[in-house]
Structure 1
Amino acid sequence: MIDHVRDLASVRDATDRLLTAAAKQNNDSTAAPSRLPGWTRGHVLAHLARNADALVNVLAGRPMYVSAEARDADIERDAPRPLAEQLDDVRQSMARFEAQAALPADWSRTITMRNGVTDSASRVPFRRWVEVELHHVDLGTGYELEDLPAEFLQREAVFLTARFTGSPGVPPTRITDGTHTWSTGGEGTPEVTVSGPAPDVVGWLSGRRDGSALTAEGGLLPTLPSL
Structure 2
Amino acid sequence: MTTDPLLLTGEVDDATARLLRTAASFDDADLAAASLLPGWTRGHVLAHVARNADGFVNLLTSARTGQAVPMYASPTARDADIESGSSRPPAVHLDDLRRSADRFTEAVAAMPVDAWGATVETRRGPWPAAMLVWGRLRELEVHHVDLAAGYRPADWPETFGHRLLHEVANSLAARTDAPPMVLRFDGSRHELVIGDRAQAPTVTGAAPELASWLIGRSPGTVLTVTPDGPLPDPPEWI
Q: Give TM-score, length-normalised by structure 2.
A: 0.88
Superposed CA offset, 1:57-111 (max 9, x none):
1112211122222111110010000011001111111111111111133212222
Amino acid corresponding to residue 231 of structure 2 in structure 1: L
Q: Specify which of 118, 125, 131 is matched with residue 109 of structure 1.
A: 118
Using the alignment, how far apart are the partners of 2:7 and 2:174 within structure 1? 30
Q: Which residue of 2 aligns with 1:41?
A: 42
Deviation at 1:217, TM superposition (A): 2.1
With over 3 angstroms needed to count, the CA separation of the structure-2 counterparts of 1:166 and 1:33, relative to structure 1, is same
- Is contact 2:9–2:133 with CA below 8 Å preserved after alignment? yes
The answer to whether the aligner puts 1:119 opposite 2:120 as a matched pair is no
- Is contact 1:146–1:199 with CA below 8 Å preserved after alignment? yes
Work out the percentage of aligned pairs sharing the same amino acid: 41
- Is contact 1:168–1:185 with CA below 8 Å preserved after alignment? no
The answer to whether the aligner puts 1:167 opposite 2:175 as a matched pair is yes
Aligned 1:1-227 pairs, distance under 5 A: 2-61=3-62, 62-105=69-112, 106-116=115-125, 118-178=126-186, 179=188, 181-186=190-195, 191-218=200-227, 220-227=230-237
**Which stretch of the first structure deviates more once superposed, 177-186 or 41-50?**
177-186
Deviation at 1:190, TM superposition (A): 6.1
Deviation at 1:206, TM superposition (A): 1.3
- Is contact 2:185–2:191 with CA below 8 Å preserved after alignment? no
**Which stretch of the first structure deviates more once superposed, 208-217 or 46-55?**
208-217
- Is contact 1:169–1:186 with CA below 8 Å preserved after alignment? no
Aligned-residue CA RMSD (Å): 1.8
Amino acid corresponding to residue 14 of structure 1 in structure 2: A
Using the alignment, how far apart are the partners of 1:80 and 1:165 within structure 2? 39
Deviation at 1:188, TM superposition (A): 6.1
**Which stretch of the first structure deviates more once superposed, 139-148 or 167-176?**
167-176
- Gaps spanning 5+ residues in structure 1: where? none
Using the alignment, how far apart are the partners of 2:104 and 2:209 within structure 1? 30
With over 3 angstroms needed to count, the CA separation of the structure-2 counterparts of 1:212 and 1:11, relative to structure 1, is same
Q: Give TM-score, length-normalised by structure 1.
A: 0.92
With over 3 angstroms needed to count, the CA separation of the structure-2 counterparts of 1:39 and 1:180, relative to structure 1, is farther
- Helix, strand or coil: the match of 1:107? helix
Using the alignment, how far apart are the partners of 2:94 and 2:159 within structure 1? 26
Deviation at 1:226, TM superposition (A): 1.1
Using the alignment, how far apart are the partners of 1:189 and 1:196 within structure 2? 20
- Gaps spanning 5+ residues in structure 2: where? 63-68
With over 3 angstroms needed to count, the CA separation of the structure-2 counterparts of 1:194 and 1:60, relative to structure 1, is same
